[in-house]
Amino acid sequence: MFKTGQAWADDAYESWFEGMQTTYIDDSDVGFCPPFDDLKGYRECLPNDPHAYVESFTSTEPGHLVVTLSPDSRWQGGEYDTDGISGLEFVAGNVGPRLQQDGFPFLKVTAKISGTDKSSTYELFPSKSGR
């Protein structure tokens, strides 16, 4: 039922990135960035947003998308990476619902920082264990 593999992860990236373009360029209520065709262009508009530092979308198990971010002082410790919510929670918690809004099938999204063990996972159907 749920897919995996790089082709699926690439499709997820395209869906997510098109949504970012719609929100930050086209949306009359929110859009404030000049047109951008890649994350470098988005990073020029919002250099402190961790979404602008996505290195890759990958998947090695069905329905689980892994979003890897490059470490960068422009987003780490900034307004989207605070004691209240980490930049990783912010990314996982935004990529997941955006894909869900687009009808893209997934179970969970894990955001992680390249070269570290830091990560945060957004689950479409959170387990009830530990509650």
Query: Does residue 86 sit within a domain?
Result: yes
Query: Does residue 69 sit within a domain?
Result: yes
Q: What is the 3-state secondary structure (H, E, C) of 58-120?
A: EEEECCEEEEEECCCCCCCCCCCCCCCCCHHHHHHHHHHHHHHHCCCCCCEEEEEECCCCCEE
The pLDDT tens digits for 61-73 are 999 999 999 999 8
The pLDDT tens digits for 72-87 are 989 999 889 998 999 9
Query: Does residue 105 sit within a domain?
Result: yes
Query: Does residue 87 sit within a domain?
Result: yes
Structural domain boundaries enclosing 77: 1-17+52-122
pTM: 0.89
Query: Does residue 75 sit within a domain?
Result: yes
- Alpha carbons 28 and 84: distance in angstroms, whole number: 29
Query: Does residue 60 sit within a domain?
Result: yes
Query: Does residue 22 sit within a domain?
Result: no
Q: How many structural domains is the chain composed of?
A: 1
